[in-house]
Amino acid sequence: MGIKIVADSCCDLSAEMRQRMNIETVPLTIQIGDREYRDDEKLDVKEMVRDMRQCETAPKTACPTPGDFLKAYEGPESVFVVTLSSALSGTYNSAMLAKKMFLEEVDNKFIHVFDSLSATIAETLISLKIFELANLQHDHNQIVEKVNDYIQSMKTLFLLESLENLIKAGRINKLKGRIANLLNIKPIMGADDDGTIKLVEDVRGYKKAFKRFVEIIGEQGEKLEEKVIGIAHCNCLERAEAFKAELLKHYRFKDIIIVDMAGLSSVYTNEGGIVVAF
């Protein structure tokens, strides 16, 4: 019968991954000023980022409805769902409500919803792990157990080029934000154990922040030779490629993958931002 992987649109995927994994994404919506974007494959991310830059107010996002997930759950396959951290979005709750509604009508269907406790490329790696375990013929319970262990062991780090959206959203005091911009402060952020976003370090200047970003991966990671690291970038492929090259100088990861960010991840990080998960 096979499996089906469903993820929200914060799961950043290449075209090759979409085709190989046959993964279905459920889009969130993004509000920038009076314009609404649907975070699907038709979205022009560069245009959206340009509109964000020109808009004085912070972008707003809305999670998919249970009805959106209900449509994705249809079909004969067993369904594994990967969502944004429940501490960051209502998407997990929406997926869970859809599961409850679906099973009230079809009680012999397997559906499991994973809270990624993270976002962007972390969701991608979780989806790849599900796909890998299913291909190795692990049963449903084994997949759930192993993927939950994987989620608990994951690290996610963000290197931001701009504080603009954080300032607009009130996450950073305007005066402190302006001072940080004047001093060329580049924040390194990370996902906490409960799925919230925390500041890891403030570093002055991008070159120093880039170097420190590489160092932190070594400090936080264990058995890196057994792990895949994912890199998601917002309109800065050259920077992501340079980061990959730097990782190869210092660590022996099992594999390194690079993907473009879709809409929602780009809202989180803004242009020039990089997110890694491993």
- Domain shared by 174 and 81, yes or no: no
Q: What are the pLDDT digits (tens) for 128-162? A: 999 999 999 999 999 999 999 999 999 999 998 87
Task: State the CATH number of the domain containing residue 12.
Answer: 3.40.50.10440
Of 108, 124, 152, the position where a domain reaches its end is: 152
- Domain shared by 67 and 87, yes or no: yes
Of 101, 128, 152, the position where a domain reaches its end is: 152
pTM over 0.85: yes
Task: Please give the Cα distance from 91 to 64 (Å, whole number).
Answer: 6
Task: Please give the Cα distance from 244 to 171 (Å, whole number).
Answer: 30
- Domain shared by 91 and 193, yes or no: no
pLDDT value at residue 173:
63
- Domain shared by 239 and 121, yes or no: no
Q: What are the pLDDT digits (tens) for 187-236? A: 888 988 888 888 888 899 999 999 999 999 999 999 999 999 999 999 99
pLDDT value at residue 181:
64
> What is the pLDDT averaged over residues 114-129?
98
54: which residues sit within 8 A by CB, 6+ positions away? Answer: none
Q: Is residue 178 part of a domain?
A: yes
- Domain shared by 134 and 162, yes or no: no
Check whether 171 has a pLDDT greater than 60.
Answer: no
Of 118, 152, 186, the position where a domain reaches its end is: 152
Mean pLDDT value across the chain: 92
Task: Please give the Cα distance from 49 to 67 (Å, whole number).
Answer: 28
Q: What are the pLDDT digits (tens) for 221-235? A: 999 999 999 999 999
pLDDT value at residue 268:
84
- Domain shared by 9 and 143, yes or no: yes
Q: What are the pLDDT digits (tens) for 74-99? A: 999 999 999 999 999 999 999 999 99
Check whether 119 has a pLDDT greater than 90.
Answer: yes
- Domain shared by 145 and 238, yes or no: no
Can you say whether the dihedral through the CA atoms of 82, 53, 50, 35 is positive or negative? positive
Q: Which residues constitute the domain of residue 94?
A: 3-28+63-152
pLDDT value at residue 22:
86
- Domain shared by 71 and 95, yes or no: yes
Q: Is residue 46 part of a domain?
A: no
- Domain shared by 83 and 117, yes or no: yes
Report how many domains make up the chain.
2
Q: Is residue 21 part of a domain?
A: yes
Q: How far is CA 254 from the centre of its chain?
A: 20
Q: Is residue 12 part of a domain?
A: yes
- Domain shared by 237 and 261, yes or no: yes
- Domain shared by 121 and 106, yes or no: yes
- Domain shared by 140 and 165, yes or no: no
